[in-house]
Structure 1
């Protein structure tokens, strides 16, 4: 039996799997993996489905981590219906084409091909696929891992199939990600009539010095391969709607993308120290959405890079740029983790698409990576 990554990608795109629905995607993957000999089960909670599939029980071992859920298609018109996979001028159009049904299909095709060609390989291959990555993720990979860590041996390495490449397939491997810390800061004032400034305390006026201080702060100069930590304000809310009323509070929401030079706790303490230093009456609610991670080993990156070059002729660069992924959960179980998938120029946009050649090439890269892991027994 052969496994065609393009056909499998089309089948997944046909499923309108807007978070947290899998809309049948996991049944498609389960069928393909089961036919190839994988043992499959679901670890579900609420409306979220999580597929765990595994073959083999020894080392070396690799985990493929992915998601089948997608963001909504949006209200803007598409060139082709977003859940009707359409080939046009060398591209496959559809929601999830880049993010990240192509990777799910390509790794499934590669893994099934590998185990059928090498049924007696030494090692294990596993999948953890969720329908809740684009949402809050509470019932997705994080929840499934809490159960798996109690019963399963940690894999030696992990590929997260997020679209990692910038211009051409193979140009970038993400071998780390910055952490993400959110804050909601409330500056407290005294409400009153604008005509009596001596009787009010305007929290909006406090914003200026605080923003100046925080936006000019040099948090660090970068950390190893990581870019400098960045602070960005995303929202400011204040006012009663009346022109003659000083409001009682001003609310600021912000995000910090931080490298391993910091922890969420150290950044929280730093910002609250700045607020106290400015004499502000404030409260702040913190939410850490991701810790930073960095794959310092070379076991996986060397074998993946070798496969990429063999298929595309490109020598990939290692990067820690970009947002967050479910790698932030996997890192606590499997520290040798990277992200590698197709190009990312159309993710979350209308007319999301992927080059048809990328789908086949990505499946070949994943397949060659499996060969490099399991057939080359000279491990670092």
Structure 2
């Protein structure tokens, strides 16, 4: 046992690309050598632009996708070596909350059947005990037990996400991955669902991985942050340190792009993200970086550091970045709304 809930080491996943005649013409390097550790009770946020590989990384961590290379350890157990049968049993300890609960819940199953399914797979409870547990889980996520006989289409988006959360925690997992779990919800509903998730993380001691593009939400909930760009981690460290003093030019640009952060005064990102089929040599961000030098296009930077890690040849040489002004962010509004709804629910 390593003391970490989840460890990823050198994870890679490339998706082959073929032309109109079916001939191979390259591969999308979705995740290209990522190593991460998450401790019990810790919230790690993975952030980056759409297409950077963060959702693929979340699925690789649970072996919903198979890695081409690398190792996944869950609670000290090597998951990449497990047989399908052993993996099915081990998944009791690690679950996922998907972005769209309407798509992740079977429309033909009642709420009770959807939440009961992991109990059938991972416990030896009797039918009566399972139904009692379903009602307890619904109450725990703020829904009335009598809603168990209804179908997903009969609920609002926020209620469906609560059902998805109840299903994810049914087997008492130690690790939960949330792939944009509140991005499709209205801001007031986001606050309620985030408040619920934070309560469950504290109560259950969950290791929680939040995949998100909303830096306001990340600032509100995360203990640590990992920033992804074109399949690689370019910066990782405590959330407070990254938001106060971002070290990588890409992280600085992401933070500056949030409304109210003074983006007009920040060095802008040039152009669009390159194709993951043919990423640039050297530092993958150098084609868009306002600080790039000749070395950046020739030599790949390593992710270096102890608590705060950065993959940049110019780390420590850049001018100071403006700290993230939380008063202007959605996270600050979510914090107030979460406190309001916490009082209402009490």
> Do Structure 1 and Structure 2 share a fold, with TM-score over 0.5?
no
More relative contact order, 1 or 2 (CA 8 Å, 6+ apart):
1
User: Which structure is higher in helix share?
Assistant: 2
Name the TM tier (shorter chain).
Answer: under 0.3
